[in-house]
Structure 1
Amino acid sequence: MIAFLRKNAGIRLAIPLLFSWFSANAQDAAKFPLIPYPTKLIPGKGLFAITPRTTVSGEAFKSEAKELAALLAKGLGQKLTPAKSQSAAAISIIKSADITASESYRLTIKPNHVEILANSGAGVFHAIETIRQLLPASIEKGIASKKLVLPVLTIEDEPAYEWRGMHLDVSRHFFSISYLKKFIDRMALYKMNKLHLHLTDDQGWRIEIKKYPKLTEEGAWRTFNNQDSMCMKRSKDNPDFVIDKEHIIQRDGKTLYGGFYTQQEMKGIVAYAAARHIDIIPEIDMPGHMMAAINSYPFLTCNGENKWGALFTKPICPCNETTFEFAQNVFTEIMDIFPSKYIHIGGDEVDRTDWGKSDACKALMEKEGIKDLAALQSYFINRMEKFFNSKGRKLIGWDEIIEGGISPTAIVMYWRGWVPKAPVEAVKNGNTVIMTPGEPLYFDNQPDQYAVDRVYHFNPIPKVLNAQEAKSIIGAQANIWTEQIPSERRADYMAMPRMTALAEMLWTNQPDKYQSYLQRLVRQYSRMDAMGINYRLPDLPGLLNEYVFTDEGKLSIASPLSTLTIRYTTDGSLPGVGSAVLPTPLVIKKSQLIRVAAFTPNGTRGDVYNLNYTQQQMLGPVKIAPPKPGLACTYYKAYFKATTFMKDAKVDSTFTTDKIEVPATVKAPSFGITYKGYIDVPADGIYSFYLTCDDGGVLKIGPNMVVNNDGNHSAQERSGQVALKMGAHPFQLDFIEGGGGFKLGLKYSVNGSVPQDVPAGWFKN
């Protein structure tokens, strides 16, 4: 029997004699640039040559054998010789009862024979994708070679987690059938197995429902909204924000945006994904996020109104039988399209206000003994789950569904990172949980230099769960919400290469392989180029947002890839392929804006970096009375859109701290904190500060704003510099949390040193 490593919800066996191969060195990783890296890889000596005379045989897995033969034929430019028998085949695919895990496989490559052992088509397909990555990237373009070669090796492989997912929101912005196929192909390459399609929301209904034709006749189209206009504004500097024109039509003198999938089209996509062993999970979001449906069918609400409340749109009414008739009719057609055993009902961000005013809801709550509006939502979810179960399906909902009580058979998808107890409570209730927290798995959040690292090192298992409870966490997925993703190019940019980090975390689950992964990722870029993926180029290292200098500044940037050219402008214009190449170094003698960007050989531009240089005299220290340690802090228990609004807010409490962090005692969903006092630096120098906030923060030292990271946004780092003489300087940090990540951190460096936490002893008040 094949001795696979068993990974049970992140808990590992430690038997050195069996698992010493975990310490595969970087040399092997460079030679075998596989993502995700196999559970076990033993390199050999020699090569297996693939020619048109190579045969492929696999009687138990005919469709997968055909897939492999087509892949090799694409690389050779001609079809392979048909195998006359299993024993005569150069490449044999064999069903093996010794391999019990459904997605496991064993791949053995010898100089004269290749063998794939598996117990399922999924296992075979994963082996084929491994072979695909061992072949040259040119195979993706169909560039023919007279001979292909595979390295001699043995791979024993299986995933750490059952659920390895990606989510795509096609409601806010719509994506074509051809792009869905491309997206599925990329998932398959990296051994992802669940595609969660968010098919409906307030902004558009994207799937044909024959019983309710107006859902797509009307609900699939809209005039441009605020999300579209935001993208149009950003497209002036970045063409990736140009809305895909194929989804814009003219109707009755109006310009409309949208589109939908017919049931037949979607069945084709489901079949396409199934051939690649990817399960498509449909989401019809209810009872909230239903404005697109209510516009056409107002009977779905409690009072006929359809508008935005304080935060969210009005939901459908769980107290009328017509609502359940509608929902069951819709999901019956959905189940006919999607054979997946999982159906996602949403259940998030529900404004329940109108339910409390409804006579029908008051009567239902009294009749059923429903204690509050959260429990009324659970009544709706639980009733729909019984309907799903009657059809042989399992219900998935966002983690809000646990608030009013749910059955232990529902599956909970955890996204609210600011409610860490939610997945724990779900597990304690007996529910299966899929982890999708906004930080770091909302891929619509703007990536930065730490994005890939955060995804790779994400641990799906909450620390408070024991080994047995951890088994209820079946995996994770990344979510791509498309309010600000209007094009296929932008979707590519946001997903890649973060998807590769998630794929390896969920399959290999060995955080110590991170440096090896980074080396292999560099090798993957050529394959992404061949596949036409508009991936995000590697970050230009070590750059700040704001620079200061006293006499002159110098800018030098080491290219993260040898193939990239770094170009710059000083007149405020965007760098282009015709802009000057950045010298080493660029000497700056006056205050100015330097804009830099990396370019690929084909002219693709990476992120544009705006580097503000300010000439500044060193700030002298101030004299202070005998200081006390730490900073004086003012806490405001309120919601703020920006830090400036705190100045007129009511103070809730005060405290002193010597750490820049969110205090563990803070439980309010939204708040603000001002950290005020002095920073006592030990030497003259140019000090760099790195402020990470979720949501916003502003750092001032002396009279200068050093870092501006203001506003409501996901965790991001902004940086700046200030020239300080030794001694104490006025220090103020304003921080706001809008309800989300509770992330705050401050690091410093001096004269280019490695960033580190600001010493507690530097803070005085």
Structure 2
Amino acid sequence: MNRIYLSVLLSLLTPLLVWAQTQQQRYPLIPYPTSLTPAQGEFTITAQTALIVQDSRFRNEADQLGQLLQPSLGKSLSPRGNGTKIILQHDPAITQAEGYSLTITPQQVTLKAAQPVGMFRAVQTIRQLLPISIEQKMAKPVPSLTLPAVQIQDQPAYAWRGMHLDVSRHFFSMDYLHKFVDRLALYKFNKFHLHLTDDQGWRIEIKKYPKLTSEGAWRTFNNQDSVVLKRAPTNPDFDLPKQFIRQQNGKTQYGGFYTQDQMRELIRYAAARHIEIIPEIDMPGHLTAAIKAYPSLSCTGQEGWGKTFSVPICPCNEPTYAFTEAVLSEIIALFPSQYVHIGADEVEKTTWAQSPACQELMKREGIKNVEELQSYFVHRIEKFVQSKGKKLMVWDDALEGGLKPSTAVMYWRSWVKDAPQKAAQNGNTVVMTPVSTLYFDNPPGIQSVENVYNLAIVPQGVPANQVNQFIGGQANIWTEYIPTENRVDYMSMPRMTALSEVVWTNHPDYASYQQRLLSHFLRMEQMGIKYRLPDLTGFTEENVFVDKATLRIKKPLASYALRYTTDGSQPQRNSPELPASLDITQPQTVKVAAFTPSGVQGDVYSLRYQQQSYATPVTAANPQAGLQASYYKKAFRNTKGMNGQTTDSTFIIHNLVVPKSVNAPSFGIQFRGYLTVPQTGVYSFFYTCDDGGVLRIADRLVVDNDGNHAPIEKSGQVALQQGAHPFAADFIEGGGGFTLKLKYSLNGSEPMDIPDSWFSH
């Protein structure tokens, strides 16, 4: 492309790009509507604005809108106001229950829907278009509020738009659950999956079995508590809340539970916001808390731990079914949800195989193995649940012994890649919740929000006649190492906003989303959400310089302050503010963190600098294209484990990728060869691994991203002269699905893929 043509093209594109960015700032909606047509002008809301409900079916939604506006205006809006008008209308032409239309002109706001749920979604769109100041509950009243003129037609892409919270591993207040519901409503979620029971605690009152909560809701500190308590001195978000700790019989115990009356009120609160709470009572495994209280529930008459998971209840004794049906009867009477979730995952079946009662049952029923025995249990529970007018939901583990088509399946095991397709082929409806992307207890990183945003609800290869069986997606927050509300906030926000757009809009535009998200960070701050601040970029963790380096970090938001230290201490609110450019002329460690005006602190980045001379290139004899790769079909804890092992196979690969022929569930690969760089400079490398990897160039350690972990990007630098340099990259996959990416940058450019032509062996 010649320079004149490029200049003309840029002159044409620049106004369009500026316009697009302005529109994203004017309409910072997440999830983005199905259709949005910008318009000129603004609608002004004052205390004299009339709030008119033309159909009584929308009275609840009108009240919600009024409650949203009243604190800012200092007065409730009346249907007889003598100013501008906000009108809620019934429109039977809108065919989807959650669909709505919204028209804002300088003269009037008109919200239309066929059903109350659609009108509520429209109110949430209004909320996001209003000034962020409305989220300040104690703010002084203002004379007016404004809404940008716009025309919106909107409806969700998927019926299941869910968030999950595990209250068993660590417990959370009823007040926080209400706040969580509010956030779900703001981002147009419609399902709240509450994981109420597990080995570590039983959290819901069951009147027929009071010991489930008097005993099962409390525990002495376990290994998960020990982990978080060790982290608490440097991060108070890991400290166990004092209100959930008690002294009992000379022991310190942690726990708590919800009464049925408390849960009934939460259900009512969520229903008013058109959110369905899905209860999960995990069975037949994950029931140590119940077995401790009622030991006869297990095949051995006691609780315990098997090879991998806890001892389950016994599916071969009739009293087990009397217990489960009584518990589920109370749950079903309490929760009006369409589905009841029983987990049916991670079941340790050793005690079943050894039980005479199970051997007798399996012989009588023609059951061939313990996987089918689990299905026998699930089928019996499903029949009971269906007799109460409900549907059963399970995790995808339960597919192994066979499921009826009527059972709904949540797919979580990313390493069982064909499980969603098998479920669909079996006739099951499927909710996508893969551990690799949507387990929000996995540590967030620089790519975690984008990974969520790019999630495919319908996997590749699903036949057209089975697409509709994929009813949506859900993110899960398992709380083994999440003991506080602040930590839940940090782990879920902003990832939750990315998921909301995936399951509502279904036509992704990540660049647009990123622009709109900036406004939502400010809204979250006003709402008191302790969200994870945006990642700081433009640097690597391991840095090198020949003569000197210059550190420049752009603030994600102008209101943030970047604070830094060079003495090894953690940055504080009163630490020096990082200048626009900081020259580095000697080896040192710079620690940087962003702070919001209210004092919310972002992640601390430790940037280590060392001085290097440019590595001298080598001369390779008769180089061939590509890298040599040694493949090991074995699980490794770290990359060093491959050293000295017998190679299963070797191959030549064009770039740092795992070929499709690699199909072992756990494996390791050693990539060896040369990297030829076209010019002398300090090169940055960004190495993303799930599980672990180590990168060496010119016999220098560049990136250490070793160990078993979720997808994490780590970065480093190396000073290279133009030419070929020894290249060694190790990668291990421990099971559960892998990620392997390597990008480079030179002189501060955006990270780019390494050209195939740079690699040889």
TM interval, short-chain normalised:
over 0.9
| Cα shift at 1:700 | 2.2
Deviations 1:116-172, CA, capped at 9 Å, x for gaps: 221211111111111112222221223321222333333221111111111111111
1:155 aligns with 2:167: no
Find the partner of 2:25 among 9, 12, 30. Answer: 30
1:448 aligns with 2:452: no
Question: Aligned AA for 1:725?
Answer: Q
- 1:103 alignment partner in structure 2: 98
- 1:584 alignment partner in structure 2: 580
- 2:125 alignment partner in structure 1: 130
- 2:370 alignment partner in structure 1: 373
Partner-residue secondary structure (3-state), 2:572: coil
1:508 aligns with 2:519: no
Deviations 1:34-85, CA, capped at 9 Å, x for gaps: 222222223334433323333323322222222222222222112223549x
| Cα shift at 1:441 | 1.2
- 1:566 alignment partner in structure 2: 562
| Cα shift at 1:269 | 0.7
In the TM superposition, what are the counterparts of 1:351-366 in structure 2 within 5 Å? 351-366=348-363
- 2:4 alignment partner in structure 1: none
Question: Aligned AA for 1:180?
Answer: L
**CA–CA distance in structure 2, aligned partners of residues 627 and 357 of structure 1:** 60
Find the partner of 1:140 among 128, 135, 140. Answer: 135
Question: Aligned AA for 1:101?
Answer: Q
Question: Aligned AA for 1:29?
Answer: Q
Partner-residue secondary structure (3-state), 2:283: coil
**CA–CA distance in structure 2, aligned partners of residues 543 and 286 of structure 1:** 48
**CA–CA distance in structure 2, aligned partners of residues 643 and 507 of structure 1:** 41
- 2:755 alignment partner in structure 1: 759
Question: Aligned AA for 1:515?
Answer: A
- 1:428 alignment partner in structure 2: 425
Q: 1:663 to 1:335 in 2, by over 3 A?
A: same
| Contact 1:49–1:150 (Cα < 8 Å) also in 2 | yes
**CA–CA distance in structure 2, aligned partners of residues 294 and 520 of structure 1:** 49
Partner-residue secondary structure (3-state), 1:471: helix
**CA–CA distance in structure 2, aligned partners of residues 299 and 248 of structure 1:** 28
Find the partner of 1:653 among 635, 649, 652. Answer: 649
Partner-residue secondary structure (3-state), 1:419: coil
Partner-residue secondary structure (3-state), 2:518: helix
Find the partner of 1:54 among 49, 57, 68. Answer: 49
**CA–CA distance in structure 1, aligned partners of residues 746 and 379 of structure 2:** 58
Find the partner of 1:398 among 395, 398, 417. Answer: 395
| Contact 2:385–2:392 (Cα < 8 Å) also in 1 | yes
Question: Aligned AA for 1:416?
Answer: R
1:388 aligns with 2:368: no
| Cα shift at 1:201 | 1.2
Find the partner of 2:89 among 94, 104, 108. Answer: 94
| Contact 2:84–2:107 (Cα < 8 Å) also in 1 | no
| Contact 1:83–1:89 (Cα < 8 Å) also in 2 | no
**CA–CA distance in structure 2, aligned partners of residues 574 and 252 of structure 1:** 41
| Contact 1:661–1:743 (Cα < 8 Å) also in 2 | no
Partner-residue secondary structure (3-state), 2:431: strand
Question: Aligned AA for 1:38?
Answer: P
**CA–CA distance in structure 2, aligned partners of residues 42 and 201 of structure 1:** 48
**CA–CA distance in structure 2, aligned partners of residues 542 and 61 of structure 1:** 50
Find the partner of 1:244 among 235, 241, 245. Answer: 241
**CA–CA distance in structure 2, aligned partners of residues 704 and 307 of structure 1:** 49
**CA–CA distance in structure 2, aligned partners of residues 44 and 732 of structure 1:** 56
In the TM superposition, what are the counterparts of 1:267-416 in structure 2 within 5 Å? 267-416=264-413
Percent identical across equivalent pairs? 56
**Where has structure 1 moved over 6 Å in runs of 4 or more?**
none
- 1:418 alignment partner in structure 2: 415
Partner-residue secondary structure (3-state), 2:532: coil
Question: Aligned AA for 1:544?
Answer: T
**CA–CA distance in structure 2, aligned partners of residues 705 and 470 of structure 1:** 47
| Contact 1:715–1:741 (Cα < 8 Å) also in 2 | no
**CA–CA distance in structure 2, aligned partners of residues 667 and 382 of structure 1:** 33
**CA–CA distance in structure 2, aligned partners of residues 582 and 330 of structure 1:** 58
- 1:607 alignment partner in structure 2: 603
Structure 1: 5+ residue stretches without partners: 1-22
Find the partner of 2:733 among 733, 737, 754. Answer: 737
Find the partner of 1:187 among 176, 184, 189. Answer: 184
**CA–CA distance in structure 2, aligned partners of residues 209 and 507 of structure 1:** 36
1:206 aligns with 2:203: yes
- 1:18 alignment partner in structure 2: none
Partner-residue secondary structure (3-state), 1:578: coil
In the TM superposition, what are the counterparts of 1:478-493 in structure 2 within 5 Å? 478-493=475-490
1:621 aligns with 2:617: yes
Partner-residue secondary structure (3-state), 2:307: coil
| Contact 2:437–2:448 (Cα < 8 Å) also in 1 | yes
- 1:713 alignment partner in structure 2: 709
Q: 1:599 to 1:763 in 2, by over 3 A?
A: same
Q: TM-score, normalised by structure 2?
A: 0.93
- 1:13 alignment partner in structure 2: none
Question: Aligned AA for 2:110?
Answer: E
**CA–CA distance in structure 2, aligned partners of residues 230 and 347 of structure 1:** 27
- 2:6 alignment partner in structure 1: none
Structure 2: 5+ residue stretches without partners: 1-17
Deviations 1:440-495, CA, capped at 9 Å, x for gaps: 21111222222222222212111101333111111101111111211111111111
| Cα shift at 1:89 | 9.6
**CA–CA distance in structure 1, aligned partners of residues 404 and 419 of structure 2:** 15
| Cα shift at 1:25 | 4.1
| Cα shift at 1:654 | 3.1
Partner-residue secondary structure (3-state), 1:489: helix
In the TM superposition, what are the counterparts of 1:228-239 in structure 2 within 5 Å? 228-239=225-236
**CA–CA distance in structure 1, aligned partners of residues 680 and 92 of structure 2:** 70
Q: 1:44 to 1:732 in 2, by over 3 A?
A: closer
| Contact 2:44–2:144 (Cα < 8 Å) also in 1 | yes
Q: What RMSD over aligned residues (CA atoms) do the two structures have, in Å? A: 2.1
Find the partner of 2:659 among 663, 672, 676. Answer: 663
- 1:541 alignment partner in structure 2: 537
Question: Aligned AA for 2:590?
Answer: I
- 1:475 alignment partner in structure 2: 472
Deviations 1:687-716, CA, capped at 9 Å, x for gaps: 222111111111223442211111111111
Question: Aligned AA for 2:85?
Answer: A
Question: Aligned AA for 1:272?
Answer: Y
Q: 1:607 to 1:313 in 2, by over 3 A?
A: same
**CA–CA distance in structure 1, aligned partners of residues 143 and 537 of structure 2:** 40
Deviations 1:230-289, CA, capped at 9 Å, x for gaps: 222223332322222222222222222111111111111111100100000011111221
**CA–CA distance in structure 1, aligned partners of residues 603 and 20 of structure 2:** 32
| Cα shift at 1:305 | 4.3
Find the partner of 2:61 among 58, 64, 73. Answer: 64
